[in-house]
Amino acid sequence: MKDGFIKVAVATPPVKVADCVYNEEQAAAMIKEADGHQVQLLVLPELYLTGYTCGDLFLQGTLLEGALQALKKVVETSRESDMLVVVGFPFSFGGKLYNCAAVCQDGEVLGLIPKSILPNYGEFYERRQFTPAFDGIKEASLFGKTVPFGTRILFSCREMPEFTLAVEICEDLWAYSPPSIGHAAAGATVIANLSASNETVGKDAYRRNLVAGQSARLVCGYLYADAGMGESTTDMVFAGHDLIAENGVILAESRKFTTGLTISEIDVQRLSFERRRFTTFPSSAGEGYLQVPFSLDIHPTQLTRPVSSRPFIPANETERESCCEDILSIQAHGLLKRLDHSRAKTAVVGVSGGLDSALALLVAIRAMDLAGRPRTDIVAATMPCFGTTARTRGNAEILCEQLGVTLRTIDIAGAVDRHFADIGKNPEERDVTYENSQARERTQVLMDIANMTGGLVVGTGDLSELALGWATYNGDHMSMYGVNASIPKTLVRHLVRHEAMNADDPRLREVLLDILETPVSPELLPAKEGEIQQKTEDIVGPYELHDFFLYYGIRWGFSPRKVLRLAVYAFQGEYDRETILHWLKTFYRRFFTQQFKRSCLPDGPKVGSVSLSPRGDWRMPSDAVAALWLDELEQLH
């Protein structure tokens, strides 16, 4: 439970129709197996204790009594465990029969939830035996105790208030207005769905999309436990398609026509953060709902859920290629609009032979092609100075030649030397002034070329550099439109590779691939024997780590402790804990001290879920202090 993770499971045990003793035994076995995995919430299928396909047998008192006795044994099995167990059974109340879920814990029934929406079409005829849920909350007598009975019940964890459970049953989800909408608005972060969804061709994909979509719409964890093998096949077949989703992502899924547990972890802290961030997310403050408290032991939850070490990069190759194409299109159309609106005659790009400038140039090419304008309207300036290597200069020139843009080579060493003389700077002192003077001279050149040609300067800096403040203030920090402003460095690589692999020109592909292999560097310090000496990742740390920190620490608001835990888990075999901790401290230190650079960023298009634009996603005072974040990390040594 630490760090907001709740170990959850959905189960499809074997079932025998109308054999309550057998079904209870299988449920008990699932509970014990789940307890061995330290599961804290287990959801079993709809009407599991009897089987869903009993038909008119549901009207038989013998079956209903057998279901009650089976429930009693399930409740007893839950004793001495803090696991919440949710199981389906038929319950007779007030002369009517209800399709119910019982929420049990430690030998007690915490509440009963009746099904709201009963299907009575096609192969379903539940209204023949069951009555839909009533309004309000009633009290039911069960095993000599009074138990709350109704749909508007929230089960809230005392130790972790972010974990609040609500329940709906099968068709409730498939209807036009699922009860889970009200449950989430009232504060439920996890929805359990006990289901008996028969299998037909293509239904699994629809079901998967439905569960994922509902978890996204409600910003919740959604647990779908489906009836399976053993249900009557008189007219239907059940496949036990179990699903665990969180905020639009399927975390775990069973194979169809199998039985057993499907286990993952729901991050309720993440869900709570996202709901706070979404000012449009409704909140009824739980009006009309009964809050039933329960307790769970606080202990570390062993993670099994996927945590990508490259969260900005889709893992699936097809999705990745589609994502790259979408991003490039967004960037290009953003620049196209700016060029059109400003009536710019040229787009001026500083091309260094590095990754970021290559991407900016490729985006400018797309924008000009969309506008139907000649590529010569792009003025690419390469500006060698003290640290420029033959490799990067050559790649810059080849790239511009192959793309057919206007190339200007302007050696700025003399201008920088003159500037040093003007300000009384000793050029042998290779300090920050030595480096930044070159970056600012390059920006001045670009701005003046733009003035001369009636154009605008296209910025090249990326999101990772902005997060770390790895940019010279009023140097490469400044432009007239920053096309890469919300592209993290790990994604820049994939975008350039995407363009390389889709290039028709073999020489263009070759130069782009060589740019990908070139170490990331601002090249502001002299090279040694023609090789780059100033490697960015040796100074500020690996960008793949910083992009991970940016995603989880800033986008999701995770604590430094949680970011570290996830990074250690995600980067197993790549970085050890001490290395990750070292660079995580660097990230927070730089992120806080460099906000002043982000407070005055040029315009640029947002392409993903993370942006640091002061007009868009990120507002932060430039003098905020990082002490709380760094102190937490100091305690983790």
Active-site annotation, residues: 46, 115, 170
The two three-digit tokens of residue 596, written as one number: 């002043």
DSSP three-state, residue 628: helix
List CB contacts of 452: < 8 A, sequence separation 6 or more. none
Three-class SS of 319-336: HHHHHHHHHHHHHHHHHH
**Secondary structure E strands in 362-496:** 378-382, 406-409, 456-459, 481-482
Whether the CB-CB separation of 342 and 335 falls below 8 Å is answered with no
Quickly list DSSP for 59-93. Answer: G-HHHHHHHHHHHHHHHHHTTT---EEEEEEEEEE
d(CA 220, CA 311): 20
Angle of CA points 356, 360, 366, to nearest 5°: 145
Whether the CB-CB separation of 508 and 402 falls below 8 Å is answered with yes
Put the strands of the sheet holding 406-409 in their side by side order. Answer: 406-409, 378-382, 347-350, 456-459, 481-482
d(CA 111, CA 359): 58
The two three-digit tokens of residue 191, written as one number: 């929805």
d(CA 631, CA 633): 5
DSSP three-state, residue 601: coil
Whether the CB-CB separation of 7 and 42 falls below 8 Å is answered with no
d(CA 146, CA 144): 7
Question: Which amino acid is located at 259 in the chain?
Answer: T
Whether the CB-CB separation of 580 and 433 falls below 8 Å is answered with no
- In the DSSP assignment, the letter for residue 4 is G
Closest CA to 365 of 378, 352, 346, 350: 378
d(CA 214, CA 220): 8
The two three-digit tokens of residue 591, written as one number: 């992120």
Closest CA to 47 of 5, 9, 91: 91
Q: Where are the alpha helices (DSSP H) in 454-576?
A: 463-468, 489-501, 506-517, 536-539, 543-549, 560-570
Whether the CB-CB separation of 202 and 241 falls below 8 Å is answered with no
Find where tokens 């809050």 sit.
Answer: 291
